[in-house]
């Protein structure tokens, strides 16, 4: 609780220290608008603008841009000059103060963008001479510190290029996600779980905790320890259906939210929503999805990615060649993404070994043994529901070999039956629920597969 309160206080203090920056940009916009329309500015404008300039200089000295220290390397920040901070303020202004966005767009009809373009930057910063304009261009070249570190992105073609803030800059300075809408093609999952509910072997749990550690320590390794940028991790969860792969992702999100003191989101991607038969469209959809996720506190989960990870076939025509290139591009793009990504597969043996090297973590989810099944029954039966005295969970765990997902379904079904009968959950309810789960398959199911539960199954139910 205190962590959340302290973080909120810090965010508020940061926002207030930057108020002078946005007020200064607002006055720049007013001046540019007056120059367009010929309207006279109020008599106090010059004094007010000069005072804001002085305040901006003072707040910068006092550390108004200090949050950059937690997001970028010291050597990058040491290379910044005063003009860079002016440019970052102008790039951030449409995000920090959304009401400025349409006004900026109206000032540059030839660009039709809310992000400031080079002509408007020159005008608002009052850069007239060749030397001033040369310095502006120099600070926006691909190798300039601010651009190379992805603090600012330059887009478009000369002379109508625009600058926009990188997602890391938005998160660092405004303490929020760069985008508010869900990523295109992905769905927000509201599932949340705890480590206590995750019944898995210790080795698997250890790897899942390593996933959280990877995310939580990435900035420390790259910023404080001087390592390369730590991305991901890109993880592969492998195991039969119902072994807990998707539920594990919800546990990771819950743990990251608690550990970092900020809310993390879990987005689930259906590959069918981004894959297209048209050449180049799949890559465009994927790039839009991952671009939207940049800078967010979010895990992207791709379930049943077997088709994507399968062994590449022989190339017999142009379409086969393109399909292989498409898969390679998708995996490379996941690998380059700064945030965590989880792909799940039911059959690890079908995964192309050339793809495995791209994953930082490969986590196997085994089918639960009798001891794990006992724990799963105990966790998945409603904790406050009355249970019959003859409900022996050890015996129940040994009776039928079910996956965790199947036990979850059977436990819910048994609870429904008991609630409808207004009695405690008993073995006849369990037997009927387990039988319903087993008979989902097309194959013929024998009563003997229920073990001791068979004696509690009514003849008409079988």
Mean pLDDT confidence for 382-388: 93
Please tell me which residue, 274 or 21, carries the higher pLDDT value.
Answer: 21
Q: What is the pLDDT of residue 459?
A: 63
pLDDT in tens, 351-378: 777 778 888 999 999 999 999 999 999 9
- Over 80: is that where the pLDDT of 15 sits? no
> SS3 for 235?
strand
Mean pLDDT confidence for 98-123: 94
- Over 90: is that where the pLDDT of 84 sits? yes
- Over 60: is that where the pLDDT of 3 sits? no
- Tell me the average pLDDT of the chain: 87
Q: In what helix (H) or strand (E) does residue 262 lie, and over which residues does it extend? A: none
Taking the C-alpha atoms of residue 49 and residue 55, their distance in angstroms, rounded to an integer, is 10
**What residues does each domain of the chain span?**
2-174, 186-365, 370-461
CATH fourth-level superfamily of 186-365: P-loop containing nucleotide triphosphate hydrolases (3.40.50.300)
Mean pLDDT confidence for 190-208: 93
End-to-end CA distance of the chain: 53
pLDDT in tens, 279-330: 667 778 888 888 888 888 999 998 877 766 655 454 444 444 445 566 777 7
CATH 2.102.10.10 fits 370-461, yes or no: no
Mean pLDDT confidence for 261-287: 79
Judged on CB neighbours under 10 Å (0-12, 13-18, 19+), 298 is: buried
Question: Phi and psi of 231, rounded to 5°?
Answer: -105, 165
Q: What is the pLDDT of residue 315?
A: 43
Neighbours of 438 (CB within 10 A): 19
Taking the C-alpha atoms of residue 159 and residue 139, their distance in angstroms, rounded to an integer, is 16
Q: What is the pLDDT of residue 240?
A: 87
Q: What is the pLDDT of residue 235?
A: 93
Residue position matching structure tokens 């008993």:
426
Mean pLDDT confidence for 392-418: 92
pLDDT-based confidence at residue 12 (cuts at 50, 70, 90): low
CB distance 159 to 122 below 8 Å: no
Neighbours of 390 (CB within 10 A): 10
Please tell me which residue, 223 or 414, carries the higher pLDDT value.
Answer: 414
Q: Strands 152-155, 162-165: parallel, antiparallel or unpaired by DSSP?
A: antiparallel
Least confident stretch, 177-181, 350-354, 445-449: 350-354
């Amino acid at each position: 609780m205190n962590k959340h309160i302290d973080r909120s206080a810090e965010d508020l203090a940061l926002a207030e220290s930057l108020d002078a920056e946005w007020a200064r940009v607002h006055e720049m916009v007013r001046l540019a608008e007056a120059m367009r329309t010929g309207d006279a500015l109020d008599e106090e404008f010059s004094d007010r603008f000069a005072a804001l300039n002085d305040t901006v200089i003072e707040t910068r000295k006092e550390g108004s841009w200090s949050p950059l220290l937690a997001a970028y390397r010291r050597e990058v920040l040491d290379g910044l000059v005063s003009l860079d901070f002016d440019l970052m303020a102008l790039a951030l202004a449409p995000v920090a103060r959304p009401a400025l966005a349409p006004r900026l767009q109206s000032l540059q009809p030839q660009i039709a963008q809310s992000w400031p373009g080079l002509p408007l930057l020159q005008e608002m910063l009052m850069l007239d001479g060749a030397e001033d304009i040369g310095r502006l261009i120099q600070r926006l070249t691909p190798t300039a510190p601010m651009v190379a570190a992805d603090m600012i992105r330059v887009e478009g073609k000369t002379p109508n290029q625009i600058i926009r803030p990188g997602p890391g800059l938005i998160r660092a300075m405004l303490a929020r996600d760069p985008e508010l809408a869900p990523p295109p093609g992905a769905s927000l999952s509201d599932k949340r779980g705890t480590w206590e509910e995750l019944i898995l072997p210790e080795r698997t749990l250890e790897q899942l905790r390593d996933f959280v550690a990877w995310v939580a320590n990435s900035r420390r390794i790259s910023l404080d320890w001087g390592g390369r940028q730590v991305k991901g991790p890109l993880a592969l969860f492998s195991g039969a259906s119902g072994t807990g792969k998707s539920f594990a992702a919800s546990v990771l999100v819950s743990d990251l939210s608690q550990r970092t003191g900020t809310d993390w989101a879990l987005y689930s991607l259906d590959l069918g929503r981004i894959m297209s038969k048209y050449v180049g469209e799949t890559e465009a959809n994927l790039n839009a999805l991952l671009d939207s996720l940049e800078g967010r506190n979010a895990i992207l989960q791709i379930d049943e990615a077997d088709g994507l990870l399968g062994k590449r076939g022989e190339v017999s025509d142009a379409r086969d060649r393109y399909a292989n290139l498409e898969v390679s591009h998708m995996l490379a793009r996941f690998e380059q993404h700064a945030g965590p990504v989880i792909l799940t597969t039911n059959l690890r043996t079908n995964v192309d070994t050339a793809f495995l090297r791209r994953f930082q973590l490969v986590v196997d989810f085994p089918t639960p043994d009798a001891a794990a099944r006992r724990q799963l029954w105990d966790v998945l039966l409603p904790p406050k529901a009355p249970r019959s005295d003859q409900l022996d969970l050890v015996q129940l765990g040994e009776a039928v070999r079910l996956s965790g997902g199947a036990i979850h379904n059977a436990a819910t079904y048994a609870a429904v039956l008991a609630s409808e009968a207004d009695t405690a959950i008993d073995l006849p309810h369990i037997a009927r629920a387990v039988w319903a789960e087993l008979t989902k398959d097309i194959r013929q199911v024998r009563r003997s597969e229920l073990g001791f539960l068979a004696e509690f199954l009514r003849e008409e139910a079988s």
